[in-house]
């Protein structure tokens, strides 16, 4: 019989008293992430993903970035038996020979490990492999920095819903054919709220064939940490059923595990000071080929609406009455990005040697760009889950992005849109591209109440409801493109963003999931592609 060896902290939080092969004694939090702890090998097959793999397959995948000549690579393993080593090795190939560059311990809570290698040579491609025991291995390629390329390409994704647990062969084919330099997953990689590890392993099995050979940014959103919506409010404990009072519902060790598995490979954070409950932060920047990507956390510091603003609908975060006053929602003391992240963006906006263009990456957009939620009969006049609220925080964030001369890329909304924000005036703010969901299970629509074009509508735009609009918070937005779910084009897909450094132009592409980009005449969603020139 296998003897159960689990760190005391994990036993206290998630597990049971040590037992051998018998049913565990239930303790607090034992319903969270059951394959991380307890006698996982003695349980029924996991319904999310098969975690009882052959021992030569226990290294599931790795993710990496390189910043300031520092390689950071996370290694994700399948659950280990108590008598198996908790050590994973990183090897790289030099002059045709494999050399070990480090050994790291695997954390039993989440089964991940992190390598941090300084003085990394970014001028050449380097093959790598992650190894465990004698046979388990995962291989890939650490690409050289593409600084010599005129165009840097980012592929962006969001919303990997559990309504489809199948393979992602269509995405793998399309992305590898387009061959981006870097990948960005903006959140909701996991929709299985209490079982992040199994869902994260499933996500890795679905997408590892595109990130084993290129840098990857993955940031968690609400569903990843087990919540339908998230207003992190600097780490307070949430007690409301919908978490709209602000804070985190699940134990901080669970939240930290999620962030460790998804973000440990990111460059070191700008300011690593933890927030409430000891939850960490990861906001940072990453330069790839002369394009500087600021990675921010637009949920972590944001105020929850419950008890802070007048409720004007069945939920504190949904406004369904057309007679509300948007100004009544923008109260003193409400937070969006928070002072820490605004300070970061202010510092990041300054000119920097080797940086030719800039972009901000976050979970979602700074405006209300969805009118209909879930069905065409369910109209929301305003949704506090969007970063159109609080309005003052929204405008401060947009000013910081505008100062940097950056574009903004996010997701989350289940509706892809391309907008130009207005702050003081229409079209004086940055561009935001919200990419489509990988699996669009919960549909939303851009559908103005009067079904009319906005002010200053471009007659050459093939989409009818474009132009200048006020969103539900009276924010100024210029809608340029949207892809409402209709028929076989259900709104699923991914975004591709091309940064042309010599021309200082950004091209936004939006590809439906069911389109094969390798076929002649392959078409994007109506309204895309669109190229903009960044203003000096």
Tell me the C-alpha to C-alpha distance, in Å, between residue 370 and each of 392, 414, 479.
Answer: 20, 9, 11
In this prediction, residue 113 carries a pLDDT of 98
Identify whether 527 is part of a domain.
yes
Strand stretches in 161-313, DSSP E = 182-185, 216-218, 284-288, 291-295
Q: What is the CATH number of the domain that holds 220?
A: 3.60.21.70
In this prediction, residue 20 carries a pLDDT of 33
Q: Which of 86, 112, 142 is the last residue of a domain?
A: 142
Q: What is the pLDDT of residues 204-235, one digit of tens each?
A: 999 999 999 999 999 999 999 999 999 999 99
Is there a single domain that holds both residue 211 and residue 124? Answer: no
Q: Which of 114, 142, 170 is the last residue of a domain?
A: 142
Is there a single domain that holds both residue 132 and residue 172? Answer: no
Q: What is the pLDDT of residues 150-160, one digit of tens each?
A: 999 999 999 99
- Supply the pTM of this predicted model: 0.94
Question: Strand 530-533 to strand 444-445: parallel, antiparallel, or no bridges (unpaired)?
Answer: unpaired
Quote the domain boundaries for residue 325.
Answer: 151-533
Is there a single domain that holds both residue 172 and residue 89? Answer: no
Alpha-carbon dihedral sign for residues 360, 435, 222, 255: negative
Q: What is the CATH number of the domain that holds 101?
A: 2.60.40.380
Identify whether 101 is part of a domain.
yes
Is there a single domain that holds both residue 107 and residue 208? Answer: no
Is there a single domain that holds both residue 224 and residue 340? Answer: yes
Share of the chain above pLDDT 90, in %: 88
Neighbouring C-beta atoms of residue 137, cutoff 10 Å: 16
Rounded to whole angstroms, how far apart are CA atoms 188 and 133?
32
Identify whether 361 is part of a domain.
yes
In this prediction, residue 30 carries a pLDDT of 55
Provide the mean pLDDT of the chain.
92
Is there a single domain that holds both residue 400 and residue 444? Answer: yes
Specify whether the backbone of 356 is left (phi greater than 0), alpha (psi in -120 to 50) or beta.
Answer: alpha
CA angle 308, 312, 314 (to 5 degrees): 105
Q: What is the pLDDT of residues 347-399, one digit of tens each?
A: 999 999 999 999 999 999 999 999 999 999 999 999 999 999 999 999 999 99
Tell me the C-alpha to C-alpha distance, in Å, between residue 229 and each of 221, 225, 241, 384.
Answer: 8, 10, 11, 10
User: To 10 degrees, the CA torsion angle through 389, 222, 299, 385?
Assistant: 0
Q: What is the pLDDT of residues 400-423, one digit of tens each?
A: 999 999 999 999 999 999 999 999
Is there a single domain that holds both residue 97 and residue 158? Answer: no
Is there a single domain that holds both residue 136 and residue 155? Answer: no
Q: What is the pLDDT of residues 220-275, one digit of tens each?
A: 999 999 999 999 999 999 999 889 999 999 999 999 999 999 999 999 999 999 99
Is there a single domain that holds both residue 119 and residue 165? Answer: no
In this prediction, residue 32 carries a pLDDT of 84
Identify whether 506 is part of a domain.
yes
pLDDT interval class at 23 (50, 70, 90): very low
CA angle 380, 397, 326 (to 5 degrees): 35
Identify whether 46 is part of a domain.
no
Is there a single domain that holds both residue 133 and residue 225? Answer: no
In this prediction, residue 28 carries a pLDDT of 43
Identify whether 51 is part of a domain.
no
Is there a single domain that holds both residue 180 and residue 82? Answer: no
The number of distinct structural domains making up the chain is: 2
Identify whether 311 is part of a domain.
yes
Q: Which of 142, 162, 181 is the last residue of a domain?
A: 142
Q: What is the pLDDT of residues 27-67, one digit of tens each?
A: 444 578 888 766 888 888 899 999 999 999 999 999 999 99
Is there a single domain that holds both residue 237 and residue 113? Answer: no
């Amino acid at each position: 019989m296998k003897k159960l060896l689990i760190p005391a902290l994990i036993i206290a939080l998630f597990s049971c008293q040590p037992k051998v092969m018998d049913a565990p004694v239930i303790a607090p939090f034992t319903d969270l992430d059951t394959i991380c702890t307890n006698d996982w090998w003695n349980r029924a097959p996991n319904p999310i993903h098969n975690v009882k793999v052959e021992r030569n397959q226990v290294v599931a995948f790795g993710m990496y970035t390189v910043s300031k000549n520092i390689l950071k690579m996370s290694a994700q393993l399948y659950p280990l038996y108590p008598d198996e080593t908790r050590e994973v090795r990183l090897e790289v190939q030099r002059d045709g020979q494999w050399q070990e560059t480090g050994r790291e311990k695997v954390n039993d809570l989440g089964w991940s490990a992190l390598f941090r290698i300084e003085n990394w040579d970014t001028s050449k491609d380097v093959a790598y492999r992650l190894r465990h025991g004698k046979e388990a291995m995962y291989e890939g390629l650490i690409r050289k920095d593409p600084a010599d390329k005129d165009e840097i390409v980012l592929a962006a994704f969001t919303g990997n819903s559990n309504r489809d647990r199948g393979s992602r062969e269509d995405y793998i084919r399309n992305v590898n054919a387009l061959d981006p330099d870097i990948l960005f997953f903006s959140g909701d990689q996991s929709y299985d709220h209490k079982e992040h590890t199994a869902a994260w392993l499933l996500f890795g099995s679905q997408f590892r064939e595109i990130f084993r050979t290129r840098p990857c940014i993955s940031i968690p959103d609400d569903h990843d940490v087990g919540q339908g919506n998230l207003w992190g409010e600097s780490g307070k404990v949430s007690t409301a059923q919908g978490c709209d009072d602000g804070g985190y519902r699940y134990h901080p060790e669970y939240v930290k595990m999620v962030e460790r598995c998804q973000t440990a490979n990111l460059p070191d954070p700008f300011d690593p000071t933890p927030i409430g409950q000891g939850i960490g932060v990861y906001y940072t920047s990453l330069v790839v080929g002369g394009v500087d990507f600021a990675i921010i956390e637009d949920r972590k510091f944001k105020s929850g609406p419950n008890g802070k603003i007048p409720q004007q609908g069945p939920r504190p975060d949904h406004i369904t009455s057309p007679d509300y006053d948007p100004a009544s929602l923008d109260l003193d003391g409400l937070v969006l990005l928070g002072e820490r992240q605004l300070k970061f963006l202010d510092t990041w906006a300054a000119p920097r040697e080797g940086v030719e263009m800039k972009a901000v990456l976050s979970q979602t957009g700074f405006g209300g760009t969805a009118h209909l939620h879930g069905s065409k009969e369910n109209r929301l006049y305003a949704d506090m889950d969007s970063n159109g609220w609080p309005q003052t925080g929204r405008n401060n964030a947009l000013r910081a992005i505008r100062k940097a001369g950056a574009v903004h890329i996010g997701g989350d909304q289940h509706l892809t849109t391309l907008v130009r924000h207005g702050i003081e005036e229409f079209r004086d703010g940055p561009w935001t591209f919200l990419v489509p969901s990988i699996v669009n299970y919960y549909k939303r629509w851009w559908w103005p109440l009067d079904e009319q074009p906005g002010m200053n509508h471009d007659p050459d735009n093939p989409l009818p409801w474009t132009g200048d609009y006020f969103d539900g918070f009276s924010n100024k937005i210029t809608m340029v493109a949207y892809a409402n779910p209709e028929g076989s084009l259900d709104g699923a897909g991914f975004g591709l963003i091309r940064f042309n450094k010599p021309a200082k132009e950004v091209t936004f592409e939006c590809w439906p999931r069911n389109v094969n980009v390798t076929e002649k005449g392959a078409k994007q969603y109506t309204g895309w592609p669109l190229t903009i020139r960044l203003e000096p």
